[in-house]
Copies of this chain bind each other. A is one copy, B any other.
Amino acid sequence: MRLVAVDWGTSSLRGALLDTDGKVLEEQSHPRGILSVAPGGFAEVFASLFTEWMRPAGTRCLISGMAGSQQGWVEAPYCECPAGLDEVAGKIIDIEPGSQHRIAIVPGLCVEHDGVPDVMRGEEVQILGAMALTGLRDGLFVLPGTHNKWARTQFGRVTSFRTFMTGEFYALLSQHSILARTLDASAPLDEAAFLTGVAQADNGHGLLHNAFGTRTLALFSRMSKAELASYLSGLLIGEELRTQSLQAASEVVLIGAPALTRRYALALGAAGTTTRTLGAEATWAGLHALATIRTP
């Protein structure tokens, strides 16, 4: 049975048509994240993009990501950690039950730390896929993005995770703060400046202080605009790494776009941690695994 696998996020949507073995037959992506869809308009957007793939009748579709949020197509309540394939599959929500389309939505995960909840939607599928692809069932998985996730797994289940707003902070600081005037966010990564920032983040004085160094290094002409963009990125990723207990992980699995995973691989490498990297294939492998386990 073929599977239409869809990762429907906040700002974009990606889809893949998979064969019975999970092999990708076709892929497509569109700037049609849930923020671009009017309330009640999800079925129409879906039909406009996937009608071809949903033939023949009886083809199934699994959707992960923000399409399952309160602002999405149909809300799929969070699955509590620890959660693996069985727990997540058990909370998948059918859209229009009984319809021949058989479209369903994967829930996100939630966890609570000292009274403060944390959530993910979409990343749980990438982690399940990464475990399937690598065979690693006990590991540390890092998913860089606007809101990064650091997740631990044991015996194939996500036991705990934390979100870091690193990507959003970088966008805010590099575009809207006083720092924006003296850095060039469009410049390619400068590895030396980036690693200088990573090291600086560990000086004990915190991000609120260290970020201002991006301003004064410009004021005293110590770094170029291009270097300062990489330095700031290093400060932020270094701040994220600072709070992790990396000793417990012999290897970190990075899942995401190469432009971001490369930075984490550099920063983690500088800390002596080995990494391996996966991209969109983790999403498709995760949705395939969920569809397989759910087949009667």
Identify the A interface with B (CB < 8 A): 113-119, 147, 162-166, 168-169, 172-173, 176-178, 200, 203-209, 211-213, 216-217, 219-220, 222, 236, 239-240, 242-243
Closest to A166 in B: B208
Partner of A177 from the list B113, B166, B172, B216 (CB cut-off 8 Å) is B172
Q: Known pairs A117-B219, A164-B209; list 20 more (Cβ under 8 Å).
A: A116-B216, A116-B217, A117-B220, A118-B212, A119-B216, A119-B219, A162-B205, A164-B212, A165-B177, A165-B208, A165-B211, A168-B177, A168-B178, A169-B211, A172-B173, A172-B177, A205-B243, A206-B242, A206-B243, A207-B239
C-alpha spacing A204/B243, complex, angstroms: 6
Instruction: Pick 12 A–B contacts, CB within 8 A, sort by A.
Output: A116-B200, A116-B216, A117-B220, A118-B212, A147-B178, A147-B212, A162-B209, A164-B206, A169-B208, A169-B211, A206-B243, A208-B239
B residues less than 8 Å from A243 (CB atoms): 204-206, 208-209
Q: A207 near B207 (CB under 8 angstroms)?
A: yes
B residues less than 8 Å from A172 (CB atoms): 172-173, 176-177
Instruction: Kindly provide the distance from the CB of A135 to the nearest chain B CB, expressed in whole angstroms.
Output: 29
B residues less than 8 Å from A116 (CB atoms): 200, 213, 216-217
C-alpha spacing A84/B265, complex, angstroms: 47
Q: A165 near B212 (CB under 8 angstroms)?
A: yes
B residues less than 8 Å from A114 (CB atoms): 200, 203
B residues less than 8 Å from A147 (CB atoms): 178, 212
Q: Can you list the 10 inter-chain pairs with the closest CB atoms, starting with the nearest?
A: A206-B243, A116-B213, A164-B208, A117-B216, A163-B212, A172-B172, A117-B220, A164-B209, A205-B243, A165-B211
B residues less than 8 Å from A169 (CB atoms): 208, 211
Instruction: Kindly provide the distance from the CB of A118 to the nearest chain B CB, expressed in whole angstroms.
Output: 6
Closest to A200 in B: B116
Instruction: Kindly provide the distance from the CB of A180 to the nearest chain B CB, expressed in whole angstroms.
Output: 11
B residues less than 8 Å from A204 (CB atoms): 243
Partner of A208 from the list B209, B220, B240 (CB cut-off 8 Å) is B240
Instruction: Kindly provide the distance from the CB of A214 to the nearest chain B CB, expressed in whole angstroms.
Output: 9
